[in-house]
């Protein structure tokens, strides 16, 4: 780069990074944009928006090159459609050059990329989901409250604002209307194309096809119910594991947690981050398992949270606990359910010979104590609830007291580690002293 003309825009971040737009470079006919990021060499660096997208696409390409081509094609198609409609760049992008079309008010380039990736790499799925929410909203602000496209990387240009953006806030009212219109036209076009393709190959009409699918689904559900009754616990467990593993392979951010009884290797529950009412949840419930989600906080309590706490809360609310109603009704199982259900605030107390009293704290929405009791009852536990909302759970076998409290266990374990470390330090000092003493004696002999 031997010469640079005045760029059309120059921005400096709070970290000293530079962004130039419309830079003239000798040898190139068109102007280019340049980003300069300065970072010290260290083991840990910030994970930028661009790096995050690059890694996600690289993972797809590594696992399935054909899927990668499909995803990239969908991203390019989405960008082309929205550019043509004039809803592409974000609202605070620089004004277009004289005579060029103004395409501001959209999600922005990386916003579109994240949007498509968030929807499994499908432009059609992303468009349908966007329109499904927008049809329930009367304004852009209402849509922004209901629909999110999160940036999992960090935006270096955000300065002191939130570095993990929600790209729907890149839009303005005009861009939102243009994007909605463009997506409606796109869905209409592909719907017509699908009907034409069906007619070309002699496929049955859509209304008849839907009716046939309904009848098939009812028949399949009845068949599955009969099979579930006859299925052994071992077969149910195997099918559950298959459903969980299949879902985790599809969703990179999901993971399975397995919970064991305190004093044995018996599995008493599984944890999985999965949206409520998803097809996988219905399959799991169809096997006879109980899927439990945490108690929801009141809206005003959630509104008081900062964005990081709210994201953490939303993630927790989509974490399921999966337990077997036909299993043993142990203290471990009750405690696991209680901790999960009341994870936004819980106190345990009242442990006796054959019962546990659970107190719930926190600004929960609805009659959560009664809901908690009904949940335990549906699993086969024996419970009562008093006028203060305290739920008492009874067990057939007596509860044995623990030899050490949790604090005592932690203290004793830490003390032994500290003593072992001090012992090693002492031995090292003694070795050094002995070595120094031998060197002194050796030097004394040659004097």
Q: What pLDDT band is residue 322 in, cutting at 50, 70 and 90?
A: very high
pLDDT, residue 354, reads 67
55 & 124 share domain: yes
User: Does residue 421 lie in a domain region?
Assistant: yes
pLDDT, residue 228, reads 44
pLDDT digits (tens, 9 = 90+) for 190-206: 777 766 655 555 544 44
Contacts of 165 (CB under 8 A, 6+ apart): 49, 111, 150, 151, 155, 158
Provide the number of structural domains found in the chain.
4
| Last residue within a domain, chosen from 30, 45, 60 | 45
pLDDT digits (tens, 9 = 90+) for 153-186: 555 444 444 444 678 888 899 999 999 988 988 8
30 & 50 share domain: no
378 & 231 share domain: yes
User: Does residue 84 lie in a domain region?
Assistant: yes
pLDDT, residue 94, reads 85
pLDDT, residue 244, reads 86
272 & 376 share domain: yes
51 & 159 share domain: yes
pLDDT above 70 as % of the chain: 70
**Three-state DSSP string of the chain:** CCCECCCCEEEECCCCCEEEEEECECCCCCCEEEEECCCCCCCCCCCEHHHHHHHHHHHHHHHCHHHHHHHHHHHHHHHHHHHHHCCCECCCCCCCCCCCCCCECCCCHHHHHHHHHHCCCCHHHHHHHHHHHHCCCCCHHHHHHHCCCECCCECHHHCCCCCCCEHHHHCCHHHHHHHHHHHHHHHHHHHHHHHHHHHHCCCCCHHHHHHHHHHHHHHHHHHHHHHHHHCCHHHHHHHHHHHHHHHHHHCCCCCEEEEECCCCCCEEEEEEECCCCCHHHHHHHHCCCEEECCCCECHHHHHCCCHHHHHHHHHHHCEEEEECCCCCCCHHHHHHHHHHHCCCCEEEECCCCCEEEEEECCCECCCHHHHHHHHHHHCCCEEEECCCCCEEEECCCCCCCCCCCHHHHHHHHHHHHHHHHHHHHHHHHHHHHHHHHHHHHHHHHCC
Q: Of the given ranges (13-22, 25-34, 339-348), which has the lowest mean pLDDT?
A: 13-22
User: Does residue 190 lie in a domain region?
Assistant: yes
173 & 243 share domain: no
**Does 3 score more than 50 pLDDT?**
no
User: Does residue 153 lie in a domain region?
Assistant: yes
321 & 388 share domain: yes
Q: What pLDDT band is residue 111 in, cutting at 50, 70 and 90?
A: confident
Q: In what order do the strands lie in the sheet with 290-292?
A: 256-260, 267-273, 319-323, 290-292
- How many Cα atoms within 13 Å fall on the side-chain side of residue 170? 26
116 & 236 share domain: no
**Does 438 score more than 90 pLDDT?**
no
More confident residue, 392 or 202: 392
Expressed as residue numbers, the domain containing 231 is 215-394
The arithmetic mean of pLDDT across residues 217-224, rounded, is 51
414 & 363 share domain: no
Q: Is 200 exposed, middle or buried (0-12, 13-18, 19+ CB in 10 A)?
A: exposed
User: Does residue 10 lie in a domain region?
Assistant: yes
User: Does residue 201 lie in a domain region?
Assistant: no
User: Does residue 199 lie in a domain region?
Assistant: no
pLDDT, residue 333, reads 87
363 & 323 share domain: yes
162 & 249 share domain: no
pLDDT digits (tens, 9 = 90+) for 228-245: 445 677 788 888 888 888
User: Does residue 399 lie in a domain region?
Assistant: no
Q: What pLDDT band is residue 314 in, cutting at 50, 70 and 90?
A: confident
18 & 91 share domain: no
The arithmetic mean of pLDDT across residues 123-146, rounded, is 89
| Last residue within a domain, chosen from 29, 45, 61 | 45
- Most confident of the following: 9-13, 291-295, 351-355: 291-295
**Does 207 score more than 50 pLDDT?**
no
């Amino acid at each position: 780069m031997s010469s640079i003309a005045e760029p059309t825009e120059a921005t400096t971040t709070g970290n000293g990074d530079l962004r130039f737009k419309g830079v003239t470079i000798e040898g190139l006919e068109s102007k280019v944009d340049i980003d300069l990021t300065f970072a010290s060499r260290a083991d840990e660096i910030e994970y930028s928006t661009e790096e995050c997208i690059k890694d996600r696409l690289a993972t797809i390409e590594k696992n399935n090159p054909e899927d990668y081509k499909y995803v990239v094609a969908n991203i390019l198609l989405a960008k082309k459609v929205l550019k043509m409609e004039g809803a592409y760049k974000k609202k605070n992008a620089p004004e277009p050059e004289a005579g060029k079309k103004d395409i501001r008010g959209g999600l922005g380039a990386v916003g579109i990329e994240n949007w498509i990736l968030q929807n499994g790499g499908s432009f059609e799925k992303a468009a349908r989901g966007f329109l499904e929410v927008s049809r329930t909203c009367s304004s852009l602000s209402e849509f922004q409250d209901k629909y999110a496209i999160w940036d999992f990387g960090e935006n270096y240009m955000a300065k002191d604002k939130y570095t993990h953006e929600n790209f729907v806030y890149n839009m303005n009212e005009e861009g939102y209307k243009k994007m909605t219109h463009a997506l409606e036209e796109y869905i209409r076009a592909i719907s017509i194309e699908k009907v034409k393709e069906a007619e070309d190959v002699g496929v049955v009409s859509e209304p008849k096809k839907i009716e046939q699918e309904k009848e098939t689904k009812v028949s399949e559900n009845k068949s599955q119910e009969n099979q579930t009754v006859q299925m052994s616990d071992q077969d149910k467990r195997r099918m559950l594991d298959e459903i969980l593993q299949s879902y985790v392979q599809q969703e990179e951010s999901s993971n399975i947690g397995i919970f064991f009884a305190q004093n044995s290797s018996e599995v008493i529950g599984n944890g999985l981050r999965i949206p409520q009412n998803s097809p996988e949840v219905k399959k799991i419930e169809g096997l006879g398992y109980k899927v439990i989600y945490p108690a929801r906080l009141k809206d005003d309590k959630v509104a008081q949270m900062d964005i990081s706490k709210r994201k953490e809360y939303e993630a927790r609310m989509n974490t399921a606990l999966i337990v077997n109603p036909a299993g043993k009704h142990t203290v471990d199982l009750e405690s696991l359910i209680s901790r999960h259900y009341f994870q936004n605030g819980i106190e345990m107390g009242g442990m006796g010979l054959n019962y546990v009293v659970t107190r719930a704290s926190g600004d929960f929405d609805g009659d959560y104590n009664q809901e908690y009791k009904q949940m335990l009852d549906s699993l086969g536990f024996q419970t009562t609830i008093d006028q203060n909302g305290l739920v008492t759970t009874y067990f057939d076998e007596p509860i044995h007291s623990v030899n050490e409290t949790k604090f005592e266990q932690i203290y004793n374990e830490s003390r032994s580690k500290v003593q072992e470390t001090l012992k090693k330090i002492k031995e090292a000092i003694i070795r050094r002293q002995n070595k120094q003493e031998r060197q002194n004696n050796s030097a004394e002999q040659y004097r």
